[in-house]
Amino acid sequence: MKPSAAGFTLLEMIVVLAIAALIIGIGAGAARQISEDHALRRAAYDAEGILMQAMTRTQATAQTQNVALEDLSGGFQLTVRRAGTAEFVAVKNQRLLLRPGGLCEPLTLRWQRGTDWISTTLDPLTATLADTEDNL
């Protein structure tokens, strides 16, 4: 008598599919978290671009530029800590004046979603962002 062909049992196939689904689920969750972290960083980079453009206009026209801080939020909760203060406050109706010569008020900006945040300090001479910290 000839033995039956070797193959996988239904139970073995179910176990393999369950393990594969678990691995895919973990990978998808990690990819989503990385995407959210990237979105916070992207908001900071976009804000830096807006500020640098305003500084360029200031230098080209020798006129003060007025930037609404709400425009820098990138869809996240944006708070600001002004020089000499310890607390971050909402940016609603707050503005930043970029003056000719590159002098403006030093600020620390913080973008937040839930418990994740990224904060960075505005360089008052160049309108670039530096000293980045995060809780991602």
Q: What is the pLDDT of residues 108-117, one digit of tens each?
A: 999 998 888 9
As a whole number, mean pLDDT of residues 85-101 equals: 87
Task: Please list, in sequence order, all residues whose beta carbon lies within 8 angstroms of the beta carbon of residue 68, skipping any fewer than 6 positions away.
Answer: 94, 95
C-alpha dist (Å) from residue 135 to 16, 58, 73, 127: 37, 33, 17, 23
Comparing CA positions, the residue from 80, 112, 116 lying closest to residue 96 is 80
Q: How confident is the model at residue 5 (pLDDT cuts 50, 70, 90)?
A: low
Q: For residue 12, what are its two tokens? A: 């073995």
Q: Global pTM?
A: 0.69
pLDDT at 128: 84
Pair 92, 77: CB distance under 8 Å: no
* C-alpha span between 103 and 66 (Å, rounded): 13
